[in-house]
A = this chain, B = another copy of it.
Amino acid sequence: METTRLESFSDGVLAVAITLLVLDLHVPDRTHGDLGHLLWNQWPNYAAYVVSFFVIGIIWVNHHAVFSHIARADRPLMFVNLMLLLSVVLIPFSTALFARYVRADTADAHIAGAVYGATMLAMSVGYASLWWWATREAGGLLHPHLDAVQARRTLRRFGAGLLAYAGTIGLAFISAPLTLGVHFLLAVYYAFNQLRVEGQQPAPGND
């Protein structure tokens, strides 16, 4: 099957999930103090909004990059993609939870940070599975001119991301705010670290 509808459905889910992040920015109620102070007091929500916006944005950019290498979709690919989307749709929830508890003095901050990290770990497992299935040796789904063996080798890079995200779960038990910073840095890393698969000639219209 062609990948057109798979991409357009994924674009839709990612677009809705990234826009729902705004629902965690609350209009403060005047009765609790002056507005400037109340807005300032919401800073974890803004910080979490920016980090999660870039995380979902970069998930989209890389989804785009991965699918520019994939020539056709089969049924398992659709389910692996659904599993990836299941974790992405959780991000607005994890973000709201993190923003609400990151300043707590108690263990609650650690738990909220760990849930945020676990969501990202699930997302990176989804990504690695997608690429693993698309580049498998027999019956892979890549454009025929691409070098499947070399493409497969890039899986190691996905493995590194997996370890990093697992690490942020542990880090959350040391410092929750620090975890948010590390998630931002990981997003920046994935922003630059473009998936490159070489082939004899570029796919028409994809390069």
Q: Which residues of A contact B (CB under 8 A)?
A: 1-2, 5-9, 11-23, 25, 27, 30, 34-36, 39, 50, 53-54, 57, 60-61, 64, 68, 75, 78-79, 82, 85-86, 89-90, 92-93, 96-97, 100-101, 104, 106-108, 111-112, 115, 191, 194, 205-207
- For the complex with contacts A9-B60, A19-B20, A53-B89, 13 further pairs of A-B residues with Cβ separation under 8 Å are A5-B11, A9-B11, A9-B64, A12-B15, A16-B16, A20-B22, A22-B93, A27-B96, A36-B107, A53-B86, A57-B79, A61-B75, A61-B79
Q: Nearest CB to that of A100 among chain B residues?
A: B27
Contacts A36-B111, A61-B78 hold; do A30 and B101 have CB atoms under 8 A apart? yes
Q: Nearest CB to that of A2 among chain B residues?
A: B205
> Of B8, B53, B205, which contacts A11 at CB under 8 A?
B8
> Of B34, B82, B111, which contacts A54 at CB under 8 A?
B82
> Of B13, B57, B75, which contacts A15 at CB under 8 A?
B13
Q: Nearest CB to that of A17 among chain B residues?
A: B19
